[in-house]
Amino acid sequence: MGVRRRSGMVLGALISTVMVLAGCSSPASQERSGDPGSGSWDPVTVSTAFGDVTIPEKPQRVVALGWGDAEVALALGVRPVGAADWLGVGGDGLGPWVERRYAGEPPPMLGTMRVDMERLAALKPDLILDTRASGDPARYERLTALGVPVVSIPKGAESYATSWKDQLALIGTALGEKAEARRLRTELETKLRQAARANPQFAGATTVVGARTANSYSAYVEGTSRVNFMRALGFRNSPAVQRLSTGKFSVPISRERLDLLDADLTVMTTIGVGTEVLRDDPLYRAVPSVAAGHSVVLEEPAVKQAFASGSVVGLSWVVDRVVPMFAAAMNR
């Protein structure tokens, strides 16, 4: 399944579910409406792959189109008026890991790789967030044609590979919520450090984070959100897998080479199929780490989706759920 950093890998990872949203404001969900009369605003500038973007006035009608942009905006207290359901959650596009929910009618979902431009224009946005998306110039041109600031992927980033830290910083700056963004970053970094300290067996241990679709296996490489997450816990990506990297999100693993899934800890997810395809595959069961019990299959849909989300919100929620599973597998 290796999908390109610069293309549709998103489709693979995407079939898992992340939230992208929209709407107005509500005290019940602790969202900030962005009242023009509340406080002063100094113009802010953010650097993106398409140059510096200046937000001259406090955003009142934010549309969040990038993968995870809406849940991050919500976490910062700003409710988008339009969004995109990247992980196919349905309804309001929010997975169960999102604590700050919409009150009342959810905002419209505008599409992911293909945005409904007519519907988007009707929302009259004054800021468009697209921080974790393709970074395609044609997409950017369509969005900027509306005449409002568009915060796209960061400078030097790859398609769909914006890190949770960069995403949080871009959105926090654009929304005038830098202090809250720093707080959320500190909270997640602290969680990850504490988990690593509590599990010294993670330090330097090799890991493979793999996926199984209906017809193939793959393994993620350095620079992807899943591998970055494992590195933050002290693991290092399998050198055997990393050597196969060609600049895509993942590398394909043929059935004849399932030994490449072997590591001190093998973490697997399934995309578009049930986990029984792994249990029923004798070649997978024969992988040394799997046979020894040093493997974890992420089965619960919400855990799989949050692990795939790559956002500060999803990763903050999932760390408490997957770390005990990782520790148990390594201690067998």
Over residues 103-134, the pLDDT tens digits come to 789 999 999 999 999 999 999 999 999 999 99
The chain-wide mean pLDDT, for the chain, equals 88
Over residues 132-163, the pLDDT tens digits come to 999 999 999 999 999 999 999 999 888 898 99
Over residues 1-19, the pLDDT tens digits come to 443 333 333 333 333 333 3
Long-range contact pairs involving 102-107 (C-beta distance under 8 Å, separation at least 24):
102/21, 102/23, 102/26, 102/29, 102/74, 103/26, 103/27, 103/28, 103/29, 103/31, 104/26, 105/23, 106/21, 106/22, 106/23, 107/21, 107/22, 107/23, 107/24, 107/79, 107/80, 107/81, 107/82, 107/83
Is pLDDT of 268 > 70?
A: yes
Tell me the average pLDDT across 173-178.
Answer: 98
Is pLDDT of 306 > 90?
A: yes
Tell me the average pLDDT across 261-284.
Answer: 96
Tell me the average pLDDT across 241-257.
Answer: 93
Higher pLDDT, 47 or 104: 47
**Domains, the chain, with CATH or none:** 9-188 (3.40.50.1980), 193-330 (3.40.50.1980)
Tell me the average pLDDT across 285-294.
Answer: 98
% residues pLDDT > 70 (the chain):
88
Over residues 205-225, the pLDDT tens digits come to 999 999 999 999 999 999 999
Quickly list DSSP for 156-223: TPPTT---HHHHHHHHHHHTT-HHHHHHHHHHHHHHHHHHHHH-GGGTT-EEEEEEE-SS-EEEE-TT
